[in-house]
Amino acid sequence: MNEAEREYPAQSGSTFAKGLLIGSLIGAAAALLFAPKPGRDLRSDISDKVGVATDKTKGVASTIGLKAKDTASVVGDKVQTAAGVVGEKVQTAAGVVSEKATTLAQSVSEKTSNVVQSVRKNGADVAEAVKDASADVGETVKTASADVANEAAKADKEIMSETADKAAETKDELKSLNSGTPTSEKPVL
């Protein structure tokens, strides 16, 4: 914020609208007071104008309340939708991780079984068989770990992308809801 903006802050649309309303009321009152009419007619005119202004104010307040309620409903729906999508993605990622862990456990079990059989069959080759099986297990663990990390990263990116998309859609809908109303009727969020 530069110095000029600090010295002369911009007024919001609602402040302008309030000033416009107050100015028009003061102008109407001055016109009535300086009009060449008898006191009884003048009081009747003032009473009528105050009634009209009160009715319009109630109408605007009702419209603003309805718009705020509609906007809150749309935002609530979008948040629920986004939460459902995120929940589904988390469940999918958990399923992938569980599947990879099961595969890894089975692989380790198979390799261990192979090592035991090899030791029983060939006493002289025990050291070599253990070494080979350990290498296989290590590679399987590395591969499965990499697969799990890749799947988790993909799921994370998808979740973040969909969350960002839903947030952008919600923002666009809020903008479109707010852009359809006059400045004085925009709900403040």
Per-residue pLDDT of the chain (189 residues; tens, 9 = 90+): 566 566 666 555 677 788 888 998 888 878 767 777 777 887 787 788 888 888 888 888 888 888 888 888 888 888 888 888 888 888 888 888 888 888 888 888 888 888 777 767 766 565 666 677 777 777 888 888 888 888 878 888 888 888 888 888 888 888 888 876 555 555 555
Q: Classify residue 179 as exposed, middle or buried by CB count within 10 Å of its CB (0-12, 13-18, 19+).
A: exposed
User: At a CB cut-off of 8 Å and minimum separation 6, what does 166 contact?
Assistant: 78, 81, 82, 85
> What per-residue confidence (pLDDT) applies to 111?
83
Task: Establish if 26 belongs to a structural domain.
Answer: yes
37: which DSSP letter? Answer: -
* DSSP summary character for residue 182: -
Judge whether 7 lies within some domain. no
Query: Tell me, what's the pLDDT at 123?
Result: 66
**How many domains does the chain divide into?**
1
- Helices and strands (H, E) in the chain, number of each type: 4, 0
172 within a domain of the structure (yes/no): yes
> Residue 117 sits in which domain range?
14-185
119 and 129 Cβ atoms separated by less than 8 Å:
yes
**Can you tell me the distance from the alpha carbon of 152 to that of 104, in angstroms, rounded to the nearest whole number?**
16
C-alpha to C-alpha distance for 33 and 14, rounded to whole angstroms:
29
DSSP reduced 3-state for 186: coil
**CA dist., res. 49 & res. 27, Å (int):** 12
Q: Does residue 164 fall inside a structural domain? A: yes
Domain membership of residue 19 (yes or no) is yes
Are 90 and 160 in contact, with CB atoms under 8 Å apart?
Answer: no
pLDDT given at position 126: 52
SS3 of the chain: helix, strand, coil, percent, to 5: 90, 0, 10
- The structure tokens listed for 161 are 């992308």
User: Who contacts 13 (Cβ-Cβ below 8 Å, separation ≥6)?
Assistant: 183, 184, 186
- DSSP summary character for residue 110: H
Q: Is residue 44 part of a domain?
A: yes
